[in-house]
């Protein structure tokens, strides 16, 4: 080693920037486990870009700090190190818009679009979050198997697998055949505690990540533990699930354009407290009836739009009525509403209601009735806020 001098002071300064960047990784893990949402992917990467860029600028002599004199020339080694830090900092910039960062994704928080429950990720996969029973219910209705991802907020291997393995086109294409649910086991909430207990009691492990394929009756079809970079190995695991899929899936629902639009009066339903919804409260108003279920991912995505309609247009004569079509609605809906608040009236449907309005297996379904009680619009599947607003304004 050369004699201590300016080079050692430069090492000290550069290591200070590196240690600050490393500490952010641990702060990000704490933020994710506590689900505070303060250190988002964008903020985390912005901080890393600044810290590594400052290290590079310092080595190149543009940032005056201890260890570099104003008249000191830049040596070849310092030049290459400074350039490397700047190149690394610039390469992080695409990640702020959600782009993949390869192996670095194991240490960087996921984008909000990837982690939000019910949101479609860039690979087209839609995940349910901490809804194990709802996923089984949905799989039973759709004639599919359930793919369960036991994961963790602070699990680097889990993040790597999600970003670099599950998102591969050949893997994502197979995963679309399953009902997907991720169960977090390292949080501080009751859901994480229940998920960890489920994993330990049913599968005898608390490993992260841990993947299982189940049928709707919770029969284990296949399991896979830990991280792998072998695409063929992971595909072989998924193919076990495809081979174990039900041989006779229920008939799929007809397209929205082919479904008959029923006519008739407003639905007669009961509230979650068991009392009938008073028809008088709906007379003379534009009524938006949304048929939904706790296991239905698009239904969850629509909730904010209906909350906004209720808030903005309630005073103008609009009533939003959400009708749960869950088979065990009285037991399941109240706990669901704690996670996904509905500001409008929530009621419980029935088999008779399903037949009356030709719901079949297709959810969500949204009906709009004018002030005379006549149905004027029917939407099947996920409906955008803009389309809902346009139909409601026309009815008003």
CB 343 within 8 A of CB 367: no
CB 145 within 8 A of CB 305: no
227: nearest Cα among 108, 103, 311: 103
CB 129 within 8 A of CB 92: no
Q: pLDDT tens digits for 156-190?
A: 899 999 888 998 888 988 998 899 999 999 888 88
Q: Round to whole Å and give the CA distance between 370 and 62.
A: 68
pTM attached to this predicted model: 0.62
| Residue 377 DSSP label | E
Q: pLDDT tens digits for 232-241?
A: 899 889 988 7
Q: Nearest-5° angle of CA 57, CA 61, CA 65? A: 90
Stated as kind and residue range, the H or E segment containing 114 is: helix 112-115
> Which residues, at least 6 apart from 113, have a Cβ–Cβ distance to it below 8 Å?
98, 119, 120, 121, 122
CB 158 within 8 A of CB 208: yes
Find tokens 């297996």 and name the residue: 361
- Helix axis angle for 132-142 and 329-339, nearest 10°, is 120
> Which residues, at least 6 apart from 357, have a Cβ–Cβ distance to it below 8 Å?
262, 267, 291, 365, 367
Q: pLDDT tens digits for 247-293?
A: 544 434 434 433 443 434 688 888 887 788 877 778 888 999 999 98
CB 228 within 8 A of CB 235: no
Instruction: Give the count of beta carbons closer than 10 Å to the beta carbon of residue 68.
Output: 19
CB 31 within 8 A of CB 37: yes
Q: pLDDT tens digits for 120-164?
A: 455 678 888 899 999 999 888 888 899 999 999 888 899 999 888
Q: Round to whole Å and give the CA distance between 101 and 94.
A: 8
Mean pLDDT of the 339-359 span: 88
Q: Nearest-5° angle of CA 41, CA 42, CA 44? A: 65
267: nearest Cα among 295, 285, 290, 284: 290
Stated as kind and residue range, the H or E segment containing 271 is: strand 270-271
Q: Which residues partner with 380 through β-bridges?
A: 365
Q: pLDDT tens digits for 13-49?
A: 999 999 999 999 889 888 888 878 888 889 999 999 9
């Amino acid at each position: 080693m050369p004699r201590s001098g300016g080079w050692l002071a430069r090492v000290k300064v550069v290591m200070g920037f590196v240690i600050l960047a490393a500490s952010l990784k641990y702060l990000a893990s704490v933020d994710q486990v506590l689900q505070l949402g303060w250190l988002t992917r964008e903020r985390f990467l912005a901080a890393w870009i600044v810290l590594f860029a400052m290290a590079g600028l310092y080595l190149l002599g543009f940032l005056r700090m201890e260890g570099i004199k104003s008249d000191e020339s830049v040596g070849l080694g310092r030049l290459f190190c400074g350039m490397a830090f700047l190149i690394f900092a610039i390469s992080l910039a695409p990640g702020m818009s959600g782009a993949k960062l390869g192996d670095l994704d194991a240490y960087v928080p996921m984008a909000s679009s990837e982690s939000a429950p019910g949101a479609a990720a860039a690979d087209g996969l839609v995940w349910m979050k901490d809804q194990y029973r709802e996923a089984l219910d949905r799989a039973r209705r759709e004639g599919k198997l359930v793919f369960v991802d036991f994961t963790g907020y602070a699990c680097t291997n889990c993040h790597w697998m999600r970003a670099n393995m599950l998102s591969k086109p050949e893997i994502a294409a197979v995963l679309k055949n399953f009902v997907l649910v991720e169960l977090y086991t390292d949080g501080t909430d009751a859901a994480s505690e229940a998920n960890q207990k489920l994993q330990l009691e049913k599968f005898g492990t608390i490993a992260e990540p841990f993947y299982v394929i189940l049928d709707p009756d919770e029969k284990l079809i296949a399991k896979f533990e830990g991280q792998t970079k072998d695409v063929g190995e992971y595909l072989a695991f998924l193919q076990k699930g495809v081979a174990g899929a039900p041989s006779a899936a229920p008939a799929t629902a007809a397209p929205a354009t082919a479904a008959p639009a029923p006519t008739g009066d407003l639905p007669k339903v009961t509230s979650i407290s068991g009392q009938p919804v008073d028809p008088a409260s709906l007379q003379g108003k534009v009524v938006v009836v949304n048929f939904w279920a706790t296991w239905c991912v698009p239904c969850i995505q629509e909730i904010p739009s209906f909350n906004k309609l209720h808030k903005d247009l309630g005073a103008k004569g609009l009533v939003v009525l959400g009708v749960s079509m869950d088979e065990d609605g009285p037991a399941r809906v109240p706990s669901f509403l704690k996670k996904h608040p509905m500001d409008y009236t929530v009621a419980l449907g029935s088999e008779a209601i399903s037949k009356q309005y030709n719901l079949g297996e297709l959810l969500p379904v949204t009906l709009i009735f004018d002030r005379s009680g006549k149905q004027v619009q029917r939407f099947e599947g996920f409906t955008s806020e803009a389309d809902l607003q346009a139909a409601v304004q026309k009815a008003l």
